[in-house]
Amino acid sequence: MPVPNLQRPGFAAPLPESADVVVIGGGIAGVTTALFLAEAGVNVVLCEKGTIAAEQSSRNWGWVRQMGRDPKELPLTIESLNLWRDIDRRFGIETGFRETGITYVCRTKAEIAEFTAWEKYGREAGMPSTLLDSAGLQKLLPGIAAQYTLGLHTANDGRAEPERAVPQMASAAVRLGATITENCAVRGIETAGGRISGVVTEKGTIATSSVVVAAGAWSRLFLGNLGLDFPQLKLLGTAARIESDGAVPDMPVGGGDFSFRKRLDGGYTIAQRNANVAPVTPDSFRLFFDFLPTLMTSWRELKLRVNGQTVSELKMPRRWSLDQVTPFEAIRTLDPVPHAPFNRNAVRNLTRAFPAFADARLTHSWAGMIDATPDAIPVIGPIAAVPGLYLSSGFSGHGFGSGPGAGRLMAEIVRNEKTCVDPAPFRYERFSKTAKAA
Ligand SMILES: Cc1cc2nc3c(=O)[nH]c(=O)nc-3n(C[C@H](O)[C@H](O)[C@H](O)COP(=O)(O)OP(=O)(O)OC[C@H]3O[C@@H](n4cnc5c(N)ncnc54)[C@H](O)[C@@H]3O)c2cc1C
């Protein structure tokens, strides 16, 4: 595992013959859904093709933030932060969540304009965010270079430890009665009379009437085999762990071109902020017009590349029958190659902002495939065309922070209960142009 210290408790429960609910995918979306279902006494089984949290959910920066979120998903993000604050006590685990606050720092006119607008938005949304001048920044973040003249600090945002949070949540789900099986790819679903009747895995079939697809970057492929078109593209995010003996703040800090977060293991997770690789794949062409508006606003942050993912997806079958080995078994863990220049730039930009990082020693680097929807908001809800089928996916680079909220919401929707937030912004059918049969 390129991600340092990923906890691997090991989940090898034998597959039961039946379950009330089957969850596909052991990232934060699937695990928190299983956790809240198990807590409510539902008989839930989670199948993970590789290892719990080995894809995006352990590779992220570990930021848990509400600042800068789309207003449509802000209530979910706030609900999620509330859950993070209590999750360790509630389930007897240690996710590493700390309410440290998060600060953005500005150097250029464009950054100042961006974060000043965010402050207005935060104020209107009732967030405890404050704009800081140079003196305020020096006080909050001692050692920051003088060219950073404005900061935006949100006191109740925080951070957690991706390499341990989701494995620990999965262990808690098992203690509450969930069944979790790793190395168990789901190949597809069975229906009877138009609604879900079972889930076919590489290890056998589970009879069930409810299935939650939480397959991260694989959700589009999985649903495509069912004739459902979920508009989702992948972006390659690169990050690294460094060590430094310098006196650097504990709080996560983001500038226009760097980010860092103190880790509980003493190092820092760093990245070049606003920089991702967009692999050119067949889906880039199929979904070009769906993503065009996003592309037009964020093209400066993207490097289009023909790379290993291009080759992999060109060769990947898009249709299979349930007795065939699927791409989910062929690729147990999506482990893309990091884009090394981003990490070099991150160290350089970081050191410019905080000269105490001059002694930074890079110990690990890794990448993860971020799954994105055209409006950068996830789908959390039923797929009306297939009664009993639900989707929780498309978290567009911020699903770690909103994961517990998403899990709670999905569990409530599956149980047909009153929901903690309005689920309307997360409807699958909002992609009505594409939600037709593929
Ligand atoms: C570099 C990077 C930095 C990020 N930083 C942040 C951050 O600071 N804050 C934040 O909030 N978010 C961040 N994110 C985004 C966040 O990590 C994701 O939004 C979130 O983890 C998505 O969770 P998920 O459960 O949907 O997907 P994943 O974690 O990718 O999990 C999906 C799982 O489904 C499994 N699966 C797929 N198909 C099948 C199948 N057929 N059968 C069985 N299992 C299957 C996969 O193996 C995988 O384990 C970052 C992401 C990256 C890559």
Q: Domain of 271: which CATH number?
A: 3.50.50.60
In terms of Cβ atoms closer than 10 Å to its own Cβ (0-12, 13-18, 19+), residue 88 is middle
Among candidate residues 86, 173, 24, 80, the one with its CA nearest the CA of residue 406: 80
Six-digit token pair at 48?
A: 């993970």
The answer to whether residue 333 scores a pLDDT higher than 80 is: yes
In contact, 228 and 431? CB cutoff 8 Å: no
Stretch (H or E) spanning 270: strand 268-271
At residue 16, φ and ψ (nearest 5 deg) are -75, 165
- Same domain? For 396 and 286 the reply is yes
- How far from chain centre, in Å, is Cα 385? 26
Residue 166 CB less than 6 A away from ligand 1: no
Six-digit token pair at 224?
A: 């495509």
The answer to whether residue 343 scores a pLDDT higher than 60 is: yes
Strand residue runs (E) in 58-136: 63-64, 102-106, 129-132
Q: Are strands 44-47 and 179-181 parallel, antiparallel or unpaired?
A: parallel
- Same domain? For 319 and 419 the reply is yes
Q: Measure the CA–CA gap between 89 and 272, rounded to whole angstroms.
A: 34
Question: Mean per-residue pLDDT for 246-270?
Answer: 93
Share of the chain above pLDDT 70, in %: 98
Six-digit token pair at 329?
A: 């078994």
> Would you state the pLDDT for residue 301?
86
Domain contains 198: yes
Closest ligand 1 atom to 402 CA: 11
Query: Which of 93, 124, 155 represents a domain boundary (last residue)?
Result: 155
Q: Measure the CA–CA gap between 437 and 404, rounded to whole angstroms.
A: 31
Q: For Cα atoms 233, 316, 13, give the angle at the middle one, nearest 5 degrees.
A: 85
- How far from chain centre, in Å, is Cα 325? 27
Q: To which residue do tokens 């006590």 refer?
A: 89
Share of the chain above pLDDT 90, in %: 87
The answer to whether residue 433 scores a pLDDT higher than 80 is: no
- Same domain? For 320 and 255 the reply is yes
- Same domain? For 107 and 167 the reply is no
Q: For Cα atoms 25, 65, 37, give the angle at the middle one, nearest 5 degrees.
A: 35
User: Which residues 6+ apart lie within 8 Å of 225 measured at CB?
Assistant: 188, 318, 319, 320
> pLDDT class for 434, splitting at 50, 70, 90?
very low
- Same domain? For 310 and 397 the reply is yes
Instruction: Give distance in angstroms: CA of 307 to centre of ligand 1.
Output: 21
Among candidate residues 72, 82, 70, the one with its CA nearest the CA of residue 118: 70
In contact, 130 and 153? CB cutoff 8 Å: yes
Query: Which of 155, 184, 217 represents a domain boundary (last residue)?
Result: 155
Q: Measure the CA–CA gap between 240 and 342, rounded to whole angstroms.
A: 9
Domain contains 3: no
Instruction: Give distance in angstroms: CA of 398 to centre of ligand 1.
Output: 9
Domain contains 47: yes
- Same domain? For 107 and 211 the reply is no
Instruction: Give distance in angstroms: CA of 190 to centre of ligand 1.
Output: 25
Q: How many domains does the chain have?
A: 2
- Same domain? For 403 and 266 the reply is yes
Domain contains 175: yes
- Same domain? For 207 and 89 the reply is yes
Question: Mean per-residue pLDDT for 370-390?
Answer: 97
Instruction: Give distance in angstroms: CA of 216 to centre of ligand 1.
Output: 5
* 3-class state of residue 20 by DSSP: coil
- Same domain? For 126 and 257 the reply is no
The answer to whether residue 372 scores a pLDDT higher than 60 is: yes
> pLDDT class for 295, splitting at 50, 70, 90?
confident
> Would you state the pLDDT for residue 115?
87
Domain contains 10: no
Query: Which of 155, 171, 194 represents a domain boundary (last residue)?
Result: 155
Residue 2 CB less than 6 A away from ligand 1: no
Q: How many CA atoms lie within 13 A of 221 on its CB side?
A: 23
Six-digit token pair at 116?
A: 């000043």
> Would you state the pLDDT for residue 5?
85
Domain that holds residue 119: 102-155
- Same domain? For 145 and 183 the reply is no
Question: Mean per-residue pLDDT for 127-152?
Answer: 94
- Same domain? For 314 and 399 the reply is yes
Question: Mean per-residue pLDDT for 283-310?
Answer: 90
Q: Is the dihedral of CA 389, 202, 235, 357 positive or negative?
A: positive
- Same domain? For 355 and 253 the reply is yes
Give the model confidence (pLDDT) of 6-47 as tens digits. 999 999 999 999 999 999 999 999 999 999 999 999 999 999
